[in-house]
Amino acid sequence: MMVMEPSWQMWATFALIAGAIVLYATERFPLEQTSLALLAALLLLFHFAPVALPGDISGQRLDARRLLAGFGDPALIAVLALMVVGQGLIRTGALDEAIRFMSRRFQRRPGLSLIVALTVVAALSAFINNTPIVVIFIPVMATIAERLHRGPSRLMMPLSFAAILGGTVTLIGSSTNLLVAGAAAGMGQPAIEFFDFAMPGVVLAIVGLVYVFFILPHLLHERASLASEITGDGKQFIAQIAVRPGSPLVGQTAVAGMIPQLQGMTVRLIQRGAESHLPPFEDVLLRPGDTVVVAATRAVLAEALARMPELADAKDEGGESGGVGDSLLAEAMVTPASRVIGRSLRLVGFHYHTGCVILGVQRRSRMMRGRMEDIRLEAGDVLLLLGPRDRVTNLRFSREVLLIEWSALELPSRLHAKRALGLFAAVVAAAATGLVPIVVAALAGALGMIMLGCLNINQAARAVDRQVAFLVAAALAMGSALQGTGGAAYLAQHMISAMAGQSPAVLLSALFALVAVMTNVLSNAATAVLFTPIAINTALSLGVAPTAFIHAIIFAANCSFATPMGYQTNLLVMGPGHYKFSDYLRGGAPLVVLIWLAFSLFAPWYYGF
């Protein structure tokens, strides 16, 4: 392989990339800002110091069109479109029934349920973007932790790692896989098919999952979730449910003082006309017209809305009932100067004035007993509200209540859940069978989510992660600069020289180790795009097919276990798990080493070295 002589532009490119790595790792500036700064620096460098592309006889140069091509890269478009498709599944609650089924099983054998849940996460992550899977399963892991009497710190990191491991099995399992495939295709390599690296991917995933199941939880400190302490996830609201004809509550009776349909709720009062029934309710059979007053957390109440929409039909103050539809669930605190202090919910007219329904009331000083509409509000009471997004956000300007904005939760719109599942299945089937390219299937699926009402255009826009978009564009620009200046070939040649006389298997293992380290410092996306040209050039210089080296980049770039910024799912679980940076190093570094050893032993046999 002929390598260009080093130029000052090559060294300037190396310096810019090294600076970007430091900024990405330290997060001193937002990732988008660093990415834009890098793009601007590369554009300025090659505008004032142009470089002709290697081997190009037509005189084409490394210009803005090539450096900014990442924004239109099919792999990036596919990644962003899959985020929209995944958000459609979340927004419609399409997977909620499966999660509730699993949650019911946690009551009996929580230890086995943990293994089953993580296996399901890994399997789903092979076909769905990892981020929505982790978002969906965070509450599931919290449920398992409660059943096992463990802190969430023991289970949240395994959730992220299981999703990452599952994403190494198929081409669409991770954005990293798509990016490597795109970069390899850009260098003239054959297109990577859907299941091309499934066999080594499954082997590495099994090895990693054994570690995640049986070793990782013991390496993590038992630690209560700081998020729970701050947000008060366990605080109880007083709410009431009107039993209407056809309700699943009709005919229910208490078992050991608890009503089976109201799991997670403490029933405090059953009102039947003028007659009040207090615990333990042994002889009370629920009938239409009854009102059940319960105490429950907001998470339990949000879950109950899916099964009992009448919870949102409180018709407080005689107004119209609220609906679940396109709604937000949020908390608001009664201010000290509020005019509603001392007035009952029946007389406040809250729905009439704000368009929001009061689902529950929480008072820190004591737990109230009685019909919710008879509660007289006090300063500091927290109201659990349900209403359309615009009505809830308008409470920012209210003088009566203070909206706790971080508490806002968008409720699933389950009306289109079957459509979302159908679209998702069509996207996976089209991509897996090769009927259309992945980018076409993903983009059509994203459009279908919007056209069929699973998402509106604003929700789809919010699903697109701008950090990923800018980071990928910057990484592809770095890859173009490395290739255009000859930097990639230069690094490959020096790697080969440093390991002269070693077999391809040894070089493959060394490359894997280098990329696995870099992916935890930089990012999996940037590392994948940067090292793909190096891997291909290394294989070509050895006279072997680049397939094994390309696959090594895919697997190594997915080994982002040792730092929280290595992958976005690590960041997602950092809050719920109350993790520190050292926790990722303690739990993730051994997994990186384990995957490297497994690949180094399996790859020579599988690829025939």
Is a pLDDT exceeding 70 seen at residue 361?
yes
pLDDT value of position 110: 61
What are the beta bridge partners of residue 269? 293
97: how many CB neighbours lie within 10 A of its CB?
12
User: What range defines the domain where residue 383 resides?
Assistant: 326-367+379-410
Residue 551's pLDDT band, with cuts at 50, 70 and 90, is very high
Averaged pLDDT, 567-593: 82
Task: Look up tokens 């926790």; give the residue.
Answer: 583
pLDDT value of position 369: 62
The answer to whether residues 335 and 381 touch, using CB atoms and an 8 Å cutoff, is: no
Selected residue with higher pLDDT from 4 and 460: 460
Residue 103's pLDDT band, with cuts at 50, 70 and 90, is low
Averaged pLDDT, 44-63: 73
Retrieve residue 341's tokens: 């202090």
Distances 336 to 266, 359, 382 between C-alpha atoms, Å? 29, 21, 12
Picking from 196-200, 303-307, 569-573, which range would have the lowest pLDDT averaged per residue?
Answer: 303-307
- Residue 594 located in a structural domain: no
pLDDT value of position 365: 57
- Residue 208 located in a structural domain: no
- 368-413 pLDDT, tens digit per residue, is 666 777 788 888 888 888 888 888 888 888 888 888 866 777 766 7
Average pLDDT value for the chain:
79
The answer to whether residues 330 and 385 touch, using CB atoms and an 8 Å cutoff, is: yes
pLDDT value of position 337: 83
pLDDT value of position 592: 96
Instruction: State the CATH number of the domain containing residue 361.
Output: 3.30.70
- Residue 577 located in a structural domain: no
pLDDT value of position 391: 86
pLDDT value of position 106: 59
Alpha-carbon span 549 to 317, nearest angstrom:
68
pTM of this prediction exceeds 0.75 = no
- Residue 398 located in a structural domain: yes
Within 362-503, residue ranges assigned H as helices are 389-393, 417-433, 438-451, 457-463, 466-484, 487-498
pLDDT value of position 256: 66
Picking from 313-317, 433-437, 556-560, which range would have the lowest pLDDT averaged per residue?
Answer: 313-317
Is a pLDDT exceeding 70 seen at residue 513?
yes
Picking from 55-69, 347-361, 414-428, 557-571, which range would have the lowest pLDDT averaged per residue?
Answer: 55-69
Is a pLDDT exceeding 60 seen at residue 480?
yes
Q: Are strands 357-362 and 266-272 parallel, antiparallel or unpaired?
A: unpaired
Is a pLDDT exceeding 50 seen at residue 247?
yes
What are the beta bridge partners of residue 275? 272
Is a pLDDT exceeding 90 seen at residue 459?
no
Selected residue with higher pLDDT from 234 and 282: 282
Share of the chain above pLDDT 70, in %: 81
- Answer positive or negative: Cα dihedral of 517, 522, 524, 530: negative
Within 224-374, residue ranges assigned H as helices are 226-231, 298-307, 345-348, 350-354
- Answer positive or negative: Cα dihedral of 184, 187, 189, 191: positive
pLDDT value of position 367: 59
Residue 364's pLDDT band, with cuts at 50, 70 and 90, is low
Is a pLDDT exceeding 60 seen at residue 224?
no
DSSP letter string, 16-61 = HHHHHHHHHHHTSS-HHHHHHHHHHHHHHHHHHS--BPTT-TT--B
- Residue 297 located in a structural domain: no
383 sits in which H/E element:
strand 382-388
- Residue 417 located in a structural domain: no
Alpha-carbon span 288 to 512, nearest angstrom:
65
Residue 492's pLDDT band, with cuts at 50, 70 and 90, is low
pLDDT value of position 541: 80
SS (H, E, C) 522-558: CCHHHHHHHHHHHHHHHHHHHCCCCHHHHHHHHHHHC
Retrieve residue 227's tokens: 């998020």
- Residue 576 located in a structural domain: no
- Residue 392 located in a structural domain: yes
Selected residue with higher pLDDT from 208 and 27: 208
Averaged pLDDT, 514-527: 77
Alpha-carbon span 478 to 322, nearest angstrom:
52
pLDDT value of position 234: 58
Would you give the distance in Å from CA 428 to the centre of its chain? 19
pLDDT value of position 54: 62
The 8-class DSSP code of residue 152 comes to G
The answer to whether residues 294 and 321 touch, using CB atoms and an 8 Å cutoff, is: no
Is a pLDDT exceeding 70 seen at residue 543?
yes
Q: Is 248 helix (H, G, I), strand (E, B) or coil?
A: coil
Averaged pLDDT, 194-215: 93
Amino acid at 165: L
Amino acid at 60: Q
Is a pLDDT exceeding 80 seen at residue 591?
yes
Query: What domain count does the chain have?
Result: 1
Averaged pLDDT, 81-92: 80
Residue 349's pLDDT band, with cuts at 50, 70 and 90, is confident
Cβ-based neighbours of 238, under 8 Å, separated by 6 or more: 268, 293, 294, 295, 360, 361, 362, 363, 367, 368, 372, 375
